[in-house]
Amino acid sequence: MRAIQIDRFGTPDVLGIVNAPEPEPGPGEVLIRTVATSLNPVDDKTREGAIGEGTPPLPMTLGWDLAGIVVDGGATGLRAGERVIAMSHQLSTGRGTWADLVALPAEAVAAAPQSVSLAEAATLPLPGLTALQTLDWLAVKAGERLLIAGAAGAVGGLALQIARARGAQVDALVSRDAHVAFAHDHGAGFVTTDRNALQDRHYDAVFDTFGAFVTEAVADGGRYASIATQAGPVPDLSSRGVRTTVNQVREDGAGLNELTELVDDGSLQLRMHSAFGLHEIQAAHARFLQGGLAGKIAVVF
Ligand SMILES: NC(=O)c1ccc[n+]([C@@H]2O[C@H](COP(=O)([O-])OP(=O)(O)OC[C@H]3O[C@@H](n4cnc5c(N)ncnc54)[C@H](OP(=O)(O)O)[C@@H]3O)[C@@H](O)[C@H]2O)c1
């Protein structure tokens, strides 16, 4: 089968399509034929060699997101032919999704949304689970005030919509004027590009997607979650009674089912910037590196 692998770290030209052995699903695993995947910042960092300790050994198959068709559900209850989505924690398992066939634990797999194509669905798993699990940690209740820093990004844009669906009042810090309309259109109240405008707004919770560390914006006794692992820990705010975390996404089929329902009931809109073919993987990474994306890059098998 085809797999996108690297055997060294570097610029997008280290990415190659190789002929790899087909995976054999173990007990409790499901074998999926990949239809589409997508690019995430972690894939870029892994290819570059920027992850450091904990990177799987070379050569490695890259990729976390997966949308495809079940080939063999084994005893998992998933049936051959079902449209599914999944996230594989590639860094901890070495099990990349950028391959024709992927075997994953059934607990990491969920039904794909019916209302979008599998290419669009492939943009959901990693950023969607990160948004969902971090909002769960923040435990934002209906009516509470949440600030999302980076609300027009892949994770932030989904978090904004999920938080609104849960009844939270959401404000947004975005990088540039072009993102202001996106945040307003998806339910944000106050939207700014100026972090100084956030001082003393006393948010119940802050969801920080890029290491903004706008700690002055959270109320005493509030919650502050970052997902920007490489920016380091959130400053200690315990003297103000603020709980902090740097959240790490984990495989979670139940969470994916929740996301699928939100897509199908119209609460969650997915944004696909463009779709590249498998053989265009180097060009896809080059486009990702240019930045300024409004939506995600899908890769279609
Ligand atoms: N811990 C985890 O488990 C986990 C999971 C998923 C992602 N992540 C990490 O979380 C980060 C976000 O991921 P993503 O996929 O959402 O990336 P993304 O789509 O690039 O989103 C990041 C957003 O933050 C904005 N931003 C960056 N610097 C800013 C600034 N100074 N002021 C205002 N906005 C700013 C970006 O705007 P521009 O586009 O204008 O730069 C973009 O809209 C990445 O570093 C990723 O590696 C961590």
pLDDT in tens, 117-172: 999 999 999 999 999 999 999 999 999 999 999 999 999 999 999 999 999 999 99
Are residue 161 and residue 194 in the same domain, yes or no?
yes
CA of 261 to the centre of ligand 1 (A): 25
pLDDT of residue 244: 98
Are residue 156 and residue 171 in the same domain, yes or no?
yes
Closest CA to 55 of 24, 96, 21, 87: 96
Coil vs helix vs strand at 20: coil
CA of 152 to the centre of ligand 1 (A): 9
Are residue 282 and residue 211 in the same domain, yes or no?
no
Are residue 7 and residue 105 in the same domain, yes or no?
yes
Are residue 91 and residue 134 in the same domain, yes or no?
no
Are residue 158 and residue 84 in the same domain, yes or no?
no
Among 46, 227, 270, 296, say which to mutate for ligand 1: greatest number of ligand atoms within 8 Å of CB.
227
Q: What is the CATH number of the domain that holds 182?
A: 3.40.50.720
Residues in the ligand 1 pocket, defined by CB under 6 Å: 40-42, 126-127, 130, 150, 152-156, 173-176, 209-210, 227-229, 247-249, 291
Q: What is the DSSP string of 45-89?
A: HHHHT-S-TTPPPSSEE---EEEEEEEE-TTSS--TT-EEEEE--
CA of 80 to the centre of ligand 1 (A): 36
Domain that holds residue 207: 127-246
pLDDT digits (tens, 9 = 90+) for 28-79: 999 999 999 999 999 999 999 999 888 999 999 999 999 999 999 988 999 9
pLDDT of residue 241: 98
* Minimal-distance CA residue to ligand 1 atom 46: 41
